[in-house]
Structure 1
Amino acid sequence: MKYFLLILLTMATSGAVLAQEGGPQIGQPVKDFTILANYGDTKAVAVVFLNRSCPNSRLYENRLSQLANSYGPKGVTFLFINPAISMEEGSSNTPAGNADLKLLPDNGQKISQQFGATKTPEAFVLHNVNGSFILKYKGAIDDNPQLENSVKAPYLRNALDAVLANQTVAVPEKRALGCMIKRF
């Protein structure tokens, strides 16, 4: 019985720690993200954290480029942010495989910490509601990093479609798969 209570207490504590990762919650506005002031006329902003040294990030480069190109004319701005802290960790602003994706540096990892991003790639969809950017989705881009042609659940695409149609996002959060963001 003593061990059961210890395990139960450990699980409860672990859950509380995970819930405190930070970042805005679904349905809440993103505050103090000054870059958003430049995008007041867009319908939505997709913030995607990438790192060129992460194999999963590289697998998504073409998909993300295609999404940015197809949703840009619909009023969606894509911001690709690199949370790496050194050249060895992929701090180049242009991923090796796709010159279309220009990465913004995350100096001091302030942006990734503000969003509560933990992995690369990880996406956040913000809906512009009268100049206030509300978090509508966070997590994985889709359900298949390895094979683009085998994707069954395009989470990011579905979230963008729902936001543009002013509908509720069916899957507002999906655990991102990829490389852990190293914190300093």
Structure 2
Amino acid sequence: MKTLKILFLLTVALVAAAAVIFGMRDYKSGYEVGDIATDFSLKNVSGNQVSLSQFNDAKGFILVFMCNTCPFSIANEERILALDKKYKSVGFPVIGINPNNPVVSPGDSFEAMQQRAKEKNFTFPYLFDEGQQVYPQYGATKTPHVFILKKENDLVVKYIGAIDNSVRDSETVTEKYVENAINSLLSDEDIKTTTTKAIGCSIKE
């Protein structure tokens, strides 16, 4: 009888531990393609709060988790600017979000973001994920990490991953994942490649 009681208690403990572990895993995994994304309100480098609901004419968004300090993110800045220039006018603007903790990465402070945006003439909102509330919801793990959202009845995740297949060198790109995905959405066609591996620096927590 005593043995059965011990086994029962061990089972309960294991189930509870599994619930915690899998709960954390679900939280960390974030969105998958086809999921509905929630809106947010984050501070732009201008000082204003920005949310996706403010973009009344947008058909969707190219959401890029990026930062000031990661060499991979820096190597993609011109490509991110080019995406905004090419697709903002047809309804898919870029929204940049810095997910890094400035205590851990001082170069990613809000003031440093303002300076970087000014130096590079960012044409898109560059938002600060203060308190790191948004990036875990999305499941971003790198800078850069892209999430394409499309407005349907809700905001639906259509693509997750890298900008293209050469994060380090734009001169060697042979496949433009984000451009291909947006072009498919604009043509009401299925996206052939909906997920790719994001390559970059780990987000600083």
Q: How does 1:96-111 map to 2 (within 5 A)?
A: 98-100=120-122, 102-111=125-134
Give, in angstroms, the shift of residue 167 of structure 1.
Answer: 1.6
Deviation at 1:32, TM superposition (A): 4.5
Alignment coverage as a number of residue pairs: 168
SS of residue paired to 1:136? strand
Matching of residues 67-82 of structure 1 within 5 Å: 67-82=83-98
| Residue equivalent to 2:186 | 164
AA matched with 1:110: Q
Distance 2:132 2:29 in 1: 13
Please list the CA deviations of residues 35-67 of structure 1 after superposition, one character each: whole Å capped at 9, or x if unmatched: 221124311111101111100000000111011
Retained in 2: the 8 A contact 1:53–1:89?
Answer: yes
- Report whether the alignment pairs 1:147 with 2:169: yes
Give the drift of 1:82: 0.4
Counterparts of 1:19-34 in structure 2, within 5 Å, are 20=26, 21-33=28-40
In 2: Cα distance, 1:124 partner to 1:73 partner: 19
Amino acid at match of 2:146: A
Q: TM-score, normalised by structure 2?
A: 0.74
Q: Percent sequence identity over matched residues?
A: 31
**SS of residue in 2 equivalent to 1:142:** coil
Shift of 1:17: 9.3
8 A contact 2:39–2:53 mirrored in 1? no
Aligned ranges 1:30-179 → 2 under 5 Å:
30-33=37-40, 35-86=51-102, 88-91=106-109, 92-94=112-114, 95=116, 98-100=120-122, 102-130=125-153, 132-179=154-201
The TM-score with structure 1 as length reference comes to 0.82
Structure 2 CA distance for partners of 1:175 and 1:80, relative to 1, 3 Å: same
Which amino acid in the other structure matches residue 93 of structure 1?
Answer: M
Kept after mapping to 2: 8 A contact 1:40/1:128:
no
Alignment partners' CA distance in 2, 1:112 and 1:24: 10
- Rg larger for: 2
Structure 1 residues 174 and 17, CA gap change in structure 2 (3 angstroms):
farther
TM-fit CA distance, 1:147: 1.9
